Amino acid sequence: MWLTQPSLISITSLPITTNALPQGVDQESSLGQVFYGTAGTAGVAAQSSYVQLFNPVGSTVIVYVDKMWGIEGAAVFVNIQQTASDLGGAAGTITPGVSGGAAGQATIKVGTSAAISNAPMWSQQMVVGALGLQFLFRNPYRLNAGKGVLMWGSSVNNSLNASIRWREK
């Protein structure tokens, strides 16, 4: 004898959003929270080249650094470290992740210095031929207001070109 039991049916659906706002990874771009920065400098005798992403003092956002790419002009170590001050220098180019998007609050600067601290958080040996390196943060590196992240080459008199991808929330 077969017993008839009522069946339970589960219906799932994707969330419906107002005005078809993209969800997931597309949402941050559509909200104007994604930025790309590039900067580069020629080598200077007795100085290391650097590129810095800095979240200014008084900023109303938290910066989440996702990726950093760097190309140094020689086979040296490329270093990443946290900074607590704006090193200044020439401004890099910042592009919003959405066409026609508003500018963010973080700044990207490039320069050279003989006084960069030799205490990197991460360091990667670059191979001969000046191939690029990518630092991909498994968890985004968080910069509160007044904090920055610095990429610099370990040897002096070398050029450095860098690109950085970050989000501001």
92, 39 contact by CB (below 8 A):
yes
Decide if 13 is inside a domain. no
Decide if 16 is inside a domain. no
Q: What is the CATH number of the domain that holds 155?
A: 2.60.120
Confidence check: pLDDT of 80 > 60: yes
How confident is the prediction for the chain on average, in pLDDT?
A: 81
In terms of pTM, does the model score above 0.85? Answer: no
The predicted structure's pLDDT at residue 11: 53
The predicted structure's pLDDT at residue 117: 66
Q: Is the dihedral of CA 96, 101, 105, 111 positive or negative?
A: positive
Strand ranges, E, within the chain:
34-41, 48-55, 63-72, 77-83, 90-91, 93-96, 107-113, 122-125, 133-143, 147-153, 160-168
d(C-alpha 67, C-alpha 134), whole Å: 7
Give pLDDT tens digits for 140-169.
Answer: 999 999 999 999 887 888 888 899 999 999
Decide if 117 is inside a domain. yes
> What domain range includes position 162?
33-168
Give pLDDT tens digits for 91-140.
Answer: 999 999 888 888 899 999 999 998 876 666 776 666 555 567 787 788 89
Domain count, the chain: 1
Distances (CA, A) of 98 to 28, 103, 110: 9, 10, 24
